[in-house]
A and B are shown apart, each in its own frame.
Chain A
Amino acid sequence: MPLFDAVRLALQTLRVQKLKSFFTLLGVTISVTFLIAVVSVVEGMSKYVEQDFAGKFLGVNTFNVRRFPDIQNDVTDLEWRAWQRRPRITPDDGEAIKAALPADARWAMQDLQWGQASSAFKTSGQQVLSMAVTPGYFGIKDLNITTGRIFNDQEDALGSNVVVIGSEIAEQYFPNLDPLGRELRINKFPFTVIGVLEKQGTVFGLNLDRQIMAPFHSYMSIITRARLNLYGVVVQASTPAAYPALQQTVREVMRKRHRLRPSEDDNFVLEGSDTALAQWLTIKKFLVLAGMFLPAIGLVVGAIVIMNIMLVAVAERTREIGIRMSIGARRRDILRQFLIESATLSVVGAILGIVLGIGLSKGVAAVSPLPAAVAPWSILLAVTVGAGVGIIAGAYPASRASKLDPIFAMRQE
């Protein structure tokens, strides 16, 4: 019997017995719904973490040369004390790295400190993330200016006390005013505002619109104490392919400057989105596994229900099986018919589950801050799993049907 006929027959059965089919499919549908929803939410979070966090906070294809990691997971006291004994990263290290870089790589020095801002219009408030950066920083972080301009290399070299401010700082400290040319004091030291950054939003609770940047060689580096220990030297590769070689170049420069012997470990860290996200990727793997394991239990239950229903169907349709055999159905035709029927049932359940799952994840995204991104592979997986569950659940009933004796079967009522 051709596949198409068997599928049509199965759908016809579904249509005739709506309520029974509904209960039959419930297990598979619910499992698939949650499979899709959980995977969507995890994928959404993942996209958020990998793009927003890694992109905005760390930069694309970018790593930071640091004394120890900024993003830390499970640090023991022992490690912490070892880190404190490490040599500091200095502006001289930054310059040495710059000298060693290929022409297509981008470079910047960055230091930061929480500072107290004040202006003629607002004298106190929450602390402001104050940075001393070289001009290359804006390009690496893809920071855009809405009004004014960024500072240039000359201003940096001269140590001009100018500042580029986040959009929220502009609103709060210069309400309804053009902030350009006005004075913003950081820890009581005056800077002239020359540009306002585009609105960026919040990443992991860090409000990116509450940061300000001044030239690295300006007075800001005194505020941030950059000369004692630099927060980081930022290096960006032009392409992902160039990234590992660039890390190697920088590592060699730093090892040379720190006079490390080949047997000694690095006493600095090259922190990129890959290392920062290592922990997240572990969490994600676990979440996806958990998100699939729980629906898997549901699927087992769903499979048992389908098996029962198929056994009932075989019993109810014993006579039909006999008739089919009498007019030439082979045992394998009967086997196929019932396998396709249970697979169709199960796939219909899975498709319902996919629709509900997409709906659920959109709902979750709408009422909670959790983003949702429906993963195409999860839909494919759901359909495959649906068909698989149907075939496995249908195997025993179908094999029973195919082993019936046609004479006996036709005598059944």
Chain B
Amino acid sequence: MNETNLDAPIGATAERKVVLQSPGQAPDPKWVIVTRGIKREYDMGGEVVRALRGVDLAISRNEYVAIMGPSGSGKSTLMNVIGCLDTPNAGEYWLNGTLVSSMSDDALARVRNKEIGFVFQTFNLLPRATALHNVELPLVYAGIPSDERKKRAKEALARVQLDHRMDHRPNELSGGQRQRVAIARALVNRPSILLADEPTGNLDSQTSEEIMRVFEELATQGQTVIMVTHEPDIASHARRVIVLRDGEVATDDRREQFTQRLGM
């Protein structure tokens, strides 16, 4: 089963097999994310929870991927590992040709700043800061001077059609607008991957569609997008859908195969 699924999305089975089965070797630059046998276990009061039991993934540049799974399948843990917020207990994680699974805290902070743009279900904007300041924040930690910061933050807000509301605080914006501010913040440092965690979880269906259109557009422009969701219709916007079950990859399909199987 895995054989066909693995080879389905991009249609380069042999290549993907090679990159996944050569441990310790830096993958070809075309692969943004390569994980080899990633394991993550938690000690919950004496009981060991095995959230990830060996995840192999290869995602190339410009892909638009959804990661799905029921709750407890490990998709949040996988997203935290991919987002460098968490480190795996075992396995290799290569991001953009760099082995990040063994990096220090500070180095991981740097990677989060430069390589990853997060979009969260609850937006996670700073409530007391304006939209512009929220978008500027990653640039502040990147050590970019103020003028340059303002310029780039305005550009990023313009990309999500919010340049007219940049002086508003989050509580003065609608849910969809907040999420667009979050997307602008995620994009402002030109990250390798845009990592969205249930990006429409707090939005009504109309606004969800609006946000999905933004992602679609970004993907079309060549931005690598990885989206974690448990809603099949949201996942079906992606070009490739990975389904996790019990901490392992269950299926890894093209969108067409995925929707077909679901009978959508």
Contacts and interface: CB of A to CB of B under 8 A. Distances in A.
Contact of B114 (A328, A332, A333, A407): A328
B156 to A, nearest CB: 13
B15 to A, nearest CB: 32
Contact of B128 (A16, A328, A410): A16
Nearest to B105: A331
Contacts of B138: 327-328
A385 to B, nearest CB: 30
B256 interface: no
Interface stretch (A159-167, A203-211, A318-326): A318-326
Contacts of A331: 105-106, 109
Nearest to B107: A330
Given A12-B128, A407-B80, A410-B124, A330 B140 contact: no
A330 B109 contact: yes
B106 A406 contact: no
B140 A1 contact: yes
Interface string A171-208: 00000000000000000000000000000000000000
B141 A1 contact: yes
B120 interface: yes
Nearest to A332: B106
A407 B80 CA distance: 8
Contacts of A16: 128
B185 interface: yes
Contact of A407 (B85, B106, B126, B185): B85
A2 interface: yes
B113 interface: yes
Nearest to A1: B140
B74 to A, nearest CB: 14
Nearest to A330: B109
A13 to B, nearest CB: 8
Interface in A331-357: 331-333
Given A407-B80, A407-B86, A410-B124, A327 B137 contact: yes
Contact of A410 (B110, B120, B126): B120
B142 interface: yes
The B interface, classified by DSSP as helix, strand, loop or mixed, is helix
Nearest to B137: A327
Contacts of B31: none
Instruction: Name the interface size band of chain B.
Output: 20 to 34
B64 interface: no
B85 A323 contact: no
B237 interface: no
A326 B197 CA distance: 13
A5 interface: yes
Contacts of B230: none
Interface string B125-140: 1101000000001101
A105 interface: no
A319 B126 CA distance: 9
A329 interface: yes
B118 interface: yes
B159 interface: no
A2 B147 CA distance: 14
B141 A329 contact: yes
B86 A333 contact: no
Interface string B224-260: 0000000000000000000000000000000000000
A50 B99 CA distance: 73
B69 interface: no
B86 A326 contact: no
A327 B85 contact: no
B137 A324 contact: yes
Contacts of B137: 324, 327
B9 interface: no
Contacts of A330: 105-106, 109-110, 141
B37 interface: no
B83 interface: yes
B128 A325 contact: no
Contacts of B189: 328
Of B114, B128, B189, chain A has the most CB atoms within 10 Å of the CB of B128
Nearest to A408: B85
Interface string A1-22: 1100100000010001000000
Given A326-B112, A327-B185, A330-B105, 19 more contacts: A1-B140, A2-B140, A5-B140, A12-B128, A16-B128, A320-B126, A324-B141, A325-B109, A325-B112, A326-B83, A326-B85, A326-B118, A327-B113, A328-B138, A329-B109, A331-B106, A331-B109, A333-B141, A406-B85
Instruction: Give the 5 A-B residue pairs with the shortest CB-CB distance, closest first.
Output: A328-B113, A330-B109, A328-B141, A327-B138, A323-B124
Interface of B: 80, 83, 85-86, 105-106, 109-110, 112-114, 118, 120, 124-126, 128, 137-138, 140-142, 185, 189
29 contacts: A1-B140, A1-B141, A2-B140, A5-B140, A323-B124, A323-B125, A324-B141, A325-B85, A325-B109, A325-B112, A326-B85, A327-B112, A327-B118, A327-B185, A328-B109, A328-B110, A328-B113, A328-B114, A328-B141, A330-B109, A330-B141, A331-B105, A331-B109, A332-B106, A333-B109, A333-B141, A407-B80, A407-B86, A410-B124
